Structure formats: C-alpha cells, structure tokens
Amino acid sequence: MSSRRRSKKDAASTVLPPQAPPLQYSRHERVLYVGCEGEVTEYDYLRYLNKEFGSGDNETGRPPFTIKPVRKADGLIPSRAVQAVVDAAQGEDETWVLFDRDSHHDIPEAFEAAADSNTEVCFSHPSFELWLLLHFQPFGGAQGAAKNTYVLEKLRKADPAYKRFDKPDKGLNDLRTKVLKDKEKAAVQHARALVGQCEHGSCKPANATFEEPKYGRSAKERAARSGHAKDCDVLNRDPSTDVWRLLVSLGIVKI
C-alpha cells in the first residue's frame, strides 16, 4: 500500500486491504485465525476459501493465505468467539470473527472485545446464510431480530444444491461450494449495496475502510469500518453482512 498521504475524499472512495503483518511475524504467508460462532456452515465456508483461493494467484498477484478456523462443538456466543480466536492466535497472527445477530444478547460486548484485541468482525444480520444467498441474488427488507426463515426460504430456492439446506443438513459440501464459485464478486456487490440501503440514512458503501481509526479504536469506530455510520447501531443493520470484507482483504475480490 502506498505510503503517500491520501485526502479524505480518496479515503471515502477507496477500500484498502489491511497492511501486511509486522516484520516480527515469522510466517511466509498470511495467516488468519477466524473464530466461528456457528459449528458447521461458517467452518465449511472457511475451509472452502482455503481450498479454492489459499494458494494465491500469480496472474493477478493475489498472495497466498491460510485461514485457521476456530470453533467449538455446539457453537460459541459472539463474545466467546472473540476470546477463543484471540487465545488461539496468541498474538502472532491476524484475528477475525464471524457471528450473527440471531438472538444473542452479547453482541455489543463482542464488538468491544474485538476492538480491544484488534480483531476484525464479520457481523451478519440475521444470519451467515444471508451471505450465501447474496451469491445468487440481491436481497432487502428488514427481517427482525432472530428471524432467519425468509432468508433460508430464498436460499433453498436459489440453487438446487441448497434445496435441502436446513438443520441438520447445513454443511457446505463440494456441490454447495461449487455453485458459489465465480459468484464472489456479485456477493460482495450485493452485500455492499445493503449498506447503502440501511435505514439509518447516512451509511455509504464508499465509506468502508480497512485502515485503523485515527482517533482511538472504539467499538463504534471499528463497527463503522464496513461503511455504516459510526452512530448506526449494529443491532439495527437489518439486513446486513460484513463477510465481504474478508474476501476483499484476502484479494479474492477487488472493488
């Protein structure tokens, strides 16, 4: 990333990937520990990213990476997912966490813990399944806290591979990941469009950034890095998903 000073206008119109890890990191490739709230779907998706994109791409210059998913049987509540990934990384590698709105009561605490530990957050409202659906089509309309029924209905109709997607069959097998391939850019575009549709009114996709906030590292400032306004309550971002930030950070999709 260029070291030249950029104007505020430039910063608002360009999403930059995170800077490379400090030199004291002893890795030959980028390593990301990613905490999963869910036990199956998110874990399978991260394994898919490793398998499909982890070796890098010489033609585009996309560097290799390794994602190390962190999960627990029966899942983790958001704040514990943050703690689990921080413990796993032991301060040596990047930490990210994926968690959903669902009916969790500790989401503000999870964002605070993420800010304190410099952990990137990929928050989805109402669920991670929204991110999968956005590979196939745009989406809109508030779903209400913990209401995932409509998203799942749309996903099951989006492609035959997902026809029976529901408990206990919420894994992402080869067929289900195959139909996601080459739709990553569309998913990112659809996810970022949701930022602009936020009812808050001041949220803009172009304001998304991977740069550290200049004035502290509060939970609100970190939560605003997806393009939402700093005073836009994360619990009101319905529907939304920030999983796109992980793909842009890894260079899988350029915007």
What is the distance between the alpha carbons of residues 195 and 227, in angstroms, rounded to a whole number?
A: 7
- Residue 62 DSSP label: B
pLDDT at 11: 35
Q: How confident is the model at residue 145 (pLDDT cuts 50, 70, 90)?
A: low
pLDDT digits (tens, 9 = 90+) for 72-84: 998 999 999 999 9
pLDDT digits (tens, 9 = 90+) for 90-107: 999 999 999 999 889 999
pLDDT digits (tens, 9 = 90+) for 156-189: 999 999 999 998 999 999 999 999 999 999 999 9
What is the distance between the alpha carbons of residues 176 and 42, in angstroms, rounded to a whole number?
A: 13
pLDDT exceeds 60 at position 3: no
Amino acid at 249: S
pLDDT exceeds 70 at position 10: no
Q: How confident is the model at residue 71 (pLDDT cuts 50, 70, 90)?
A: very high
Greatest alpha-carbon span in the chain: 51
What is the distance between the alpha carbons of residues 107 and 79, in angstroms, rounded to a whole number?
A: 7
pLDDT exceeds 50 at position 5: no
pLDDT exceeds 50 at position 1: no
The percentage of the chain sitting over the pLDDT mark of 70, rounded to a whole number, equals 88
**HSE of 228 in the Cβ direction (CA atoms, 13 Å)?**
29
